[in-house]
């Protein structure tokens, strides 16, 4: 009854399947957990199972093939809402009907579903809903039409409006096990000699399956080690700043860079406490930082504040430079 290529989260998936079968699944769900652990894919599995010829999300029949990337915006029982443009926001046009589907999302939600199906509305990176879009959805999220389910997916629930969060049932996802994540990486062609650094940096996610993404993350970690050790931000900042030609928004790129810094600071704390390092391939740099006067609490607090407000941050360069100054304070 599950997509054989989807790894992990078996308990969550079984619980969702059971609730769908018993017609006890809420109308508005908020899937939260680390970026790149498969939340979006689990959400799509709910719709895929209904169109699968075997009703099992087999991944091979013509019904399942509709759910392969690149996934269309609209399927018979699924509508996707995703951020757009360099700002990476979900704008009101996507909700009102100017950009996505005729009549808009709310009208689509009230249509009759195909026989034997529900209507699923997947909101990807739901923390990227701008204020007008979020407010337009509020009433429908509170009382979705019968048979319609909103699936909001995010790794930054703290950046969402409280009024949105309060209308949704929270479904929590944990990081994948190291062996689970590496099994996917091996399918993508990663060699065994890369396992230790890839697993350490991925931290139970699948964010770095592409070699270019892993290399950029590795370069960012090296840059933060340099800056945290007193090195010049201007001399080390190139990997930290958003790439202008990247598909993801500047805010998302800055967020990933800051999350790598949080991993580094957490490992410095572990080293000081005599605990095993999670970023063991970078042990030499981490041990140097642990033996220095590097403060941890103030930088960590500033990073968490920045992550909550990334959408409103107009200047990645200024933000990253400020955090580098906090590291040296």
Do 291 and 225 touch, CB atoms closer than 8 A? Answer: no
Q: Bin 57: left if φ > 0, else alpha if -120 < ψ < 50, else beta.
A: left
For residue range 135-170, list pLDDT tens digits in order.
Answer: 999 999 999 999 999 999 999 999 899 999 999 999
DSSP 51-108: HSTTSS--SSSHHHHTTSSSPPSEETTEEEE--BTTTTBB-HHHHHTSSSSTTHHHHH
CA distance 180 to 51: 27
Domains of the chain: 10-172 (3.40.50.300), 210-328 (no CATH)
CA distance 312 to 306: 9
Task: Dig out the tokens for 313 from the structure.
Answer: 């941050």
For residue range 6-65, list pLDDT tens digits in order.
Answer: 999 999 999 999 999 999 999 999 999 999 999 999 999 999 999 999 999 999 999 999
Kindly give the parts of the chain with pLDDT less than 70.
1, 86, 98-99, 311-314, 329
Residue with tokens 């703290």: 158
Q: Bin 42: left if φ > 0, else alpha if -120 < ψ < 50, else beta.
A: alpha
Enumerate long-range contacts of 265-271, CB under 8 Å, 24 or more apart: 265/228, 265/296, 265/299, 265/300, 268/228, 268/294, 268/296, 269/296
Cβ neighbours of residue 21 under 8 Å, at least 6 residues apart?
A: none
Do 237 and 223 touch, CB atoms closer than 8 A? Answer: yes
Q: What crossing angle do the helices spanning 195-202 and 178-187 adopt, rounded to 10°?
A: 120
Q: What is the pTM of this model?
A: 0.91
Of the candidates 279, 281, 245, 248, the residue with the CA atom closest to the CA atom of residue 265: 279
């Amino acid at each position: 009854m599950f997509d054989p290529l989807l790894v992990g989260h078996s308990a969550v998936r079984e619980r969702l399947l059971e609730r769908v079968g018993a017609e006890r699944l809420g109308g508005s769900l908020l899937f939260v957990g680390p970026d790149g652990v498969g939340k979006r894919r689990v959400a799509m599995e709910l719709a895929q199972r209904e169109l699968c010829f075997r009703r099992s999300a087999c991944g091979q029949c013509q019904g399942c093939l509709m759910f392969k990337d690149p996934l269309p915006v609209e399927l018979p029982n699924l509508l996707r809402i995703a951020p757009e443009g360099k700002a990476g926001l979900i704008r009101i046009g996507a909700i009102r009907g100017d950009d996505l589907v005729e009549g808009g999302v709310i009208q689509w939600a009230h249509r009759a579903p195909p026989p034997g199906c529900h209507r699923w509305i997947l909101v990807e990176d739901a923390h990227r809903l701008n204020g007008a879009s979020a407010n337009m959805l509020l009433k429908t999220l509170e009382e979705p039409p019968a048979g319609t389910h909103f699936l909001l997916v995010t790794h930054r629930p703290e950046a969402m409006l409280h009024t949105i969060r309060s209308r949704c049932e929270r479904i929590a996802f944990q990081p994948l096990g190291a062996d689970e994540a590496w099994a996917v990486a091996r399918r993508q062609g990663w060699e065994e000699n890369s396992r230790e650094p890839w697993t350490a940096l991925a931290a139970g996610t699948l964010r770095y399956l592409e070699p270019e993404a892993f290399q950029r993350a590795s370069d960012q970690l090296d840059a933060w080690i340099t800056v945290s050790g007193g090195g010049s931000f201007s001399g080390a900042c190139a990997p930290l700043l958003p790439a202008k030609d990247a598909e993801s928004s500047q805010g998302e790129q800055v967020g990933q860079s800051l999350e790598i810094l949080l991993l580094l600071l957490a490992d410095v704390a572990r080293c000081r406490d005599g605990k095993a390092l999670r970023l063991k391939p970078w042990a030499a740099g981490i041990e140097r930082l642990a033996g220095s006067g590097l403060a941890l609490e103030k930088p960590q607090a500033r990073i968490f504040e920045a992550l909550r407000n990334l959408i409103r941050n107009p200047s990645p360069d200024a933000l990253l430079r400020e955090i580098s100054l906090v590291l040296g304070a």
